């Protein structure tokens, strides 16, 4: 690709500013949906980009994996060039135990139905760039966009200015999509940035060696209980009060290590150097600190980002512009939702562009898509905002994770796998139920936070909260593989059933929480509760702990 020397056209149908993950996948999706569309992608970095240390954002979950693998047809690349992931895995109080088998663990002992992957972003984006050029997309690397003049009316074109190899260029486009991540031109130009009240920060680095959490214990029983794949193929989270540490193995052989924290509880300035981060690990996660030192190898990069989460007042416009990926909104790296929101946003943008270029008026649809997308964003933000203080609390955080998975698989992922994300009639049909679930989600997140504040933290050493032993979670994950082939009526029934299930799940999770925090759940419909035991398969240490609340054993209501 380094020998590729494209000629930049004077005019195009769609100009995508930014050729990273969001921009390149949008270009491929748009070309797939409307092959005769003229597309120019302008990327600041020169390709091929470095492997391993190119960008953060290596972990995918179900929506993104489905988008990359099935919607864009990249399954072979994911299976052959990236790493199949052993799910998300969480360890509580790992910092207090040199032997990781003595920490509480939450994750799947056995692989669930829907695959997900660890992405080496350099390898992946190089592949996307090659595909784009093979499919006739004008992917222009080493191109710095310096300005955008938006069209004054529907009959005019947008004007993009930039520089490449010391030469200035201008480009006219019917559509302009900003995929420039945090350097978004349109967000600054239109004053769209919005503080979302989620003040967390992150530091991260890559080393060219493998850090293997399976080496952190010699306990044969612990080794055997999660044996489908090595644990290092999970996105491993070391949980603590106000923070979590990620460990992600990459296909290039490197390991990504990140520390994500509530800025009010941990000092960003003390962490924003490699030495400072290592000192912090030595204090809070000494086993991880030692493993990093023992791994040796070369430090490939070190980066930091203060207050990474942000909102956006507008992302799609009937005036033929849009923002996608981090140029629009970004939530939090916990649960790895970044690529999910790229998938959802790109699907909205693709549909708007295809309809507009076919002559359809899109002004109303752009407003509906924006409202739907920002509603998904706001509902998901409740999972993170104000929640970091409870991250080290085993019972509250494990219960929260069960709810968060069920809410994600049962609603947002179901809509995407069913192909209904852009079906506004389908979403409107379920609008009242979805809005009520949004309220319940906000209420139960408050309950989890108060739970951690109220109940002394218990430490059931060595326990596994096995998601693959939960009939509920196994079913919700499996149903994602089935829903795409169903009729609209069947999909509608499934979404309604999941909504009722979430009312019941919230009630059952509240029954194992301290009684004093349950009153925040005011939006549950008692008529939807049912008789199914939705907490089946979860360990007694989570459901019926002893030594909590004055030594009284809690029982399910």
Distance, C-alpha 494 to centroid of its chain: 24
Residue 388 lies in a domain: no
Tokens of 155: 């009959």
Closest CA to 242 of 264, 262, 220: 262
Distance, C-alpha 49 to centroid of its chain: 23
Same domain, yes or no: 279 and 206:
yes
Average pLDDT score over residue span 72-89: 97
Say yes or no to pLDDT of 552 above 60. Answer: no
Average pLDDT score over residue span 455-466: 91
Average pLDDT, the chain: 94
Say yes or no to pLDDT of 383 above 60. Answer: yes
Q: pLDDT digits over 7-59, tens only?
A: 899 999 999 999 999 999 999 999 999 999 999 999 999 999 988 656 776 88
Q: Measure the CA–CA gap between 506 and 522, rounded to whole angstroms.
A: 11
Same domain, yes or no: 105 and 126:
no
Average pLDDT score over residue span 386-397: 97
Residues 553/546, Cβ–Cβ less than 8 Å: yes
Q: pLDDT digits over 216-234, tens only?
A: 999 999 999 998 999 999 9
Say yes or no to pLDDT of 1 above 60. Answer: no
Residue 374 lies in a domain: no
Tokens of 146: 């310096």
Q: Measure the CA–CA gap between 435 and 437, rounded to whole angstroms.
A: 5
Write the secondary structure of 283-311 as one string of H (helix), E (strand) and C (coil).
Answer: HHCHHHHHHHHHHCCCEEEEEEECCCCEE
Residues 333/60, Cβ–Cβ less than 8 Å: no
Q: Tell me the percentage of the chain whose pLDDT exceeds 90.
A: 91
Say yes or no to pLDDT of 5 above 90. Answer: no
Q: pLDDT digits over 170-229, tens only?
A: 999 999 999 999 999 999 999 999 999 999 999 999 999 999 999 999 999 999 999 899
Q: What are phi and psi of 14, to 5 degrees?
A: -135, 125
H/E stretch holding 42? strand 39-42
Query: Which residues have C-beta within 8 Å of that of residue 137, sequence separation ≥ 6?
Result: 27, 28, 31, 39, 40, 41
Same domain, yes or no: 459 and 519:
yes
Q: Measure the CA–CA gap between 244 and 21, rounded to whole angstroms.
A: 25
Q: Measure the CA–CA gap between 321 and 327, rounded to whole angstroms.
A: 13
Q: pLDDT digits over 321-330, tens only?
A: 999 999 999 9
Q: Measure the CA–CA gap between 484 and 102, rounded to whole angstroms.
A: 41
Residue 4 lies in a domain: no
Q: What are phi and psi of 43, to 5 degrees?
A: -120, 130
Same domain, yes or no: 433 and 295:
no
Residues 395/511, Cβ–Cβ less than 8 Å: no
Q: pLDDT confidence of 555, banded at 50, 70, 90? A: very low
Same domain, yes or no: 181 and 279:
no
Q: pLDDT confidence of 3, banded at 50, 70, 90? A: low
Q: pLDDT confidence of 154, banded at 50, 70, 90? A: confident
Pairing verdict, β 104-107 and 464-466: parallel
Q: What are phi and psi of 419, to 5 degrees?
A: 75, 25
Residue 1 lies in a domain: no
Residue 378 lies in a domain: no
CATH number at residue 344: 3.50.50.60
Same domain, yes or no: 141 and 48:
yes
Average pLDDT score over residue span 394-411: 98
Say yes or no to pLDDT of 550 above 70. Answer: no
DSSP 454: H
Tokens of 286: 């000494």
Same domain, yes or no: 202 and 186:
no
Same domain, yes or no: 130 and 207:
no
Q: Measure the CA–CA gap between 310 and 539, rounded to whole angstroms.
A: 37
Residues 134/28, Cβ–Cβ less than 8 Å: no
Q: Measure the CA–CA gap between 505 and 534, rounded to whole angstroms.
A: 6
Residue 550 burial (CB count, 10 A): 6
Q: Could you say which of 255, 272, 305 is where a domain stops?
A: 305
Same domain, yes or no: 216 and 251:
yes
Residue 549 is predicted with a pLDDT of: 40
Closest CA to 17 of 326, 303, 358, 366: 326
Distance, C-alpha 300 to centroid of its chain: 24
Torsion angle of C-alpha atoms 311, 85, 46, 20, degrees rounded to 10: -30
Say yes or no to pLDDT of 106 above 50. Answer: yes
| CB neighbour burial string for 313-329, b if at least 16 within 10 angstroms, e if fewer | ebbbbbbbbbbbbbbbb
Structural domain boundaries, residue 127: 11-53+122-190+316-364
Q: Could you say which of 305, 326, 355 is where a domain stops?
A: 305
Residue 538 is predicted with a pLDDT of: 97
CA-based R_g, the chain, Å: 24
Same domain, yes or no: 483 and 537:
yes
Tokens of 553: 């054993």
Residue 61 lies in a domain: no
Q: pLDDT digits over 331-382, tens only?
A: 999 999 999 999 999 999 999 999 999 999 999 999 999 999 999 999 999 9
CATH number at residue 203: 3.30.9
Residue 393 lies in a domain: no
- Number of domains observed in the structure of the chain: 3
The model carries a pTM of 0.96
Same domain, yes or no: 274 and 327:
no
Q: What are phi and psi of 106, to 5 degrees?
A: -125, 125
Residue 220 is predicted with a pLDDT of: 96
Q: pLDDT digits over 403-453, tens only?
A: 999 999 999 999 999 999 999 999 999 999 999 999 999 999 999 999 999
Residue 544 is predicted with a pLDDT of: 81
Same domain, yes or no: 445 and 419:
yes
Say yes or no to pLDDT of 485 above 80. Answer: yes
Residue 463 lies in a domain: yes
């Amino acid at each position: 690709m380094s020998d590729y020397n494209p000629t930049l056209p004077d005019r195009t149908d769609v100009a995508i500013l930014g050729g990273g993950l969001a921009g390149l996948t949008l270009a491929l999706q748009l070309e797939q949906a409307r092959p005769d569309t003229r597309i120019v992608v302008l990327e600041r970095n020169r390709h091929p980009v470095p492997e391993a240390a190119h960008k953060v954002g290596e972990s995918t979950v179900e929506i993104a994996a489905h988008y990359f693998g099935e919607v864009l047809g990249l399954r072979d690349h994911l299976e052959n060039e990236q790493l199949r992931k052993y799910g998300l895995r969480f360890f509580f109080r790992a910092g207090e135990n040199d032997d990781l088998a003595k920490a509480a663990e939450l994750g799947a002992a056995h692989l669930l139905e829907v695959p997900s992957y660890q992405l080496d972003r350099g390898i992946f984006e190089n592949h996307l760039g090659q595909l784009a050029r093979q499919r006739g997309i004008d992917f222009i690397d080493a191109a710095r966009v310096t300005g955008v003049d938006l069209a004054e009316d529907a009959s005019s074109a947008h004007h993009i200015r930039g520089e490449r190899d010391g030469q200035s260029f201008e480009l006219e486009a019917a559509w302009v999509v900003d995929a420039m991540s945090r350097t978004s031109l349109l967000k600054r130009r239109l004053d769209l940035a919005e503080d979302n009240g989620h003040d967390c920060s992150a530091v991260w680095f890559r080393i060219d060696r493998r850090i293997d959490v399976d080496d952190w214990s010699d306990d044969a029983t612990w080794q055997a209980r999660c044996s489908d794949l090595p644990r290092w193929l999970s996105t491993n989270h070391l949980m603590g009060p106000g923070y979590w540490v990620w460990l992600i193995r990459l296909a290039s052989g490197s390991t990504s290590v990140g520390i994500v924290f509530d800025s009010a509880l941990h000092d960003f300035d003390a962490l924003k150097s490699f030495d400072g981060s290592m000192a912090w690990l030595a204090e809070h996660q000494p086993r991880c600190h030692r493993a990093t030192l023992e791994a040796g190898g070369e430090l490939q990069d070190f980066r930091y980002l203060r207050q990474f989460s942000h909102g956006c007042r507008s992302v799609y416009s009937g005036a033929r512009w849009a923002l996608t990926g981090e140029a629009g909104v970004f939530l939090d790296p916990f649960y790895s939702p970044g690529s999910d929101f790229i998938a959802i946003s790109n699907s909205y943008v693709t549909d708007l562009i295809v309809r507009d270029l076919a002559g359809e008026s899109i002004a109303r649809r752009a407003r509906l898509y924006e409202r739907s997308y920002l509603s998904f964003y706001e509902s998901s933000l409740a999972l993170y905002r104000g929640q970091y203080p409870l991250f080290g609390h085993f019972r509250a955080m494990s219960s929260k994770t069960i709810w968060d998975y069920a809410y994600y698989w049962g609603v947002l992922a179901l809509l995407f796998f069913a192909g209904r994300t852009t079906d506004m009639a389908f979403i409107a049909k379920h609008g009242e139920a979805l809005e009520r679930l949004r309220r319940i989600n906000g209420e139960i997140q408050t309950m989890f936070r108060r739970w951690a504040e109220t109940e002394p933290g218990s430490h059931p050493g060595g326990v596994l909260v096995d998601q693959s032993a939960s009939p509920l979670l196994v079913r919700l994950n499996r149903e994602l593989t089935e829903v795409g082939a169903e009729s609209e009526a069947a999909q509608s029934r499934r979404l309604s059933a999941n909504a009722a299930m979430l009312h019941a799940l919230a009630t059952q999770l509240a029954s194992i929480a301290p009684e004093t925090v349950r009153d925040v759940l005011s939006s549950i419909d008692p008529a939807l509760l049912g008789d199914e035991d939705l907490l089946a398969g979860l360990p007694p240490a989570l459901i019926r702990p002893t030594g909590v609340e004055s030594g009284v054993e809690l029982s399910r209501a």
